[in-house]
Amino acid sequence: AKGAGRDTVALFSDELRAAARRRLRVTTELREAIAAGQLVVHYQPLLHLRTRTVTGVEALVRWQHPERGLLPPSEFVPVAEASGLVDELTRWVLATVARDAAAWDDMGLPLTAAVNISATHMGSGTLVSDVSAALASSGLRPERLVLELTETSVAEDPERAAEQFAELRVSGIEVSIDDFGSGFSCLGQIVSMPAGILKIDKSLVQGIAGSGHKQASQSAAAVETVVSLAKACGMRSVAEGVETPEQLAVVAALGCTYAQGFVIAKPMPAEELPRWMGARSR
């Protein structure tokens, strides 16, 4: 039994070493990928439910890997966060998104563009200046930019989040709380944040329809509660992960401000968006 224990320890540390090696390899590769222009941003439309118009997009990063193909953020964003590379990645995303949104503006497509920000970036103290730099170099109006921070990252350091949110909003940039309802954060803390938008996590939205009757009505009640909470706090709401026409009808009926999800459109490359918008309005 003693021997077996030792083997387990040896195996465990082998695995840890392998994981560390893998992380290091991805970090090195990712740093090169940013420099080599292998990252791409895809954009997913947000539908304004009252007017049924697309008024904004969310920017979602991908890695066009030379051997492994198009990688989703789950394959490399956590590594970037753990290795301290994420601020550099986000600066690249901010610059790209600001440039794309400024170009859409010039084409007569005034869209807001939301960028996902990691918790570590909020703590690093460069967030506000990084955002200003992206706006300055693109000429994009601050009103066009939205920053998304998850409920859990806000809960890590609420005071600091509140400070930076206030500073960003003074300069006209909107702040959105992402994945709301997925964590167990202090509700009072989250709703007292100076943020303008609450994004309802897809786990709540997807429970609405297609699941068992009991769960469906409970999920709808949860979404309804979040929508009225947002309204009472003077915030707009987004239902994310809307996959079916039925879910879309329910979130619209519950008074959500926006909907986002595959039923409207999947994330698409920047150059496809104007065409998609054109086809929609016809």
Q: Which residues bind ligand C2E (CB under 6 A)?
A: 44, 60-61, 72-74, 77, 86, 90, 93, 116, 118, 178-179, 202, 241-243, 261-262, 267
Mapped onto helix, strand or coil, the DSSP state of residue 245 is helix
* Residue 147 burial by Cβ neighbours in a 10 Å radius (0-12, 13-18, 19+): buried
In terms of phi and psi (left: phi > 0; alpha: psi -120 to 50; beta: otherwise), the region of 161 is alpha
Give the interface segment with Ca ion, choosing from 72-80, 126-134, 144-152, 246-254 (CB under 5 A): 144-152
In terms of phi and psi (left: phi > 0; alpha: psi -120 to 50; beta: otherwise), the region of 181 is left
Q: Which is nearer to Ca ion, 174 or 178 (CB)?
A: 178
The 100-119 site mask, x for binding Ca ion (CB under 5 A), equals: ----------------x---
- Please give the C-alpha separations between residue 258 and each of 51, 173, 188, 236, in angstroms, as whole numbers: 10, 18, 23, 8
Q: Which is nearer to ligand C2E, 10 or 210 (CB)?
A: 210
Minimum distance from residue 175 beta carbon to Ca ion (Å): 12
Q: Which is nearer to Ca ion, 263 or 282 (CB)?
A: 263
Q: Which is nearer to ligand C2E, 96 or 235 (CB)?
A: 96
Minimum distance from residue 232 beta carbon to ligand C2E (Å): 24
* Parallel/antiparallel/unpaired status of strands 39-48 and 53-65: antiparallel
Enumerate binding residues for Ca ion (CB under 5 A).
116, 148, 178-179
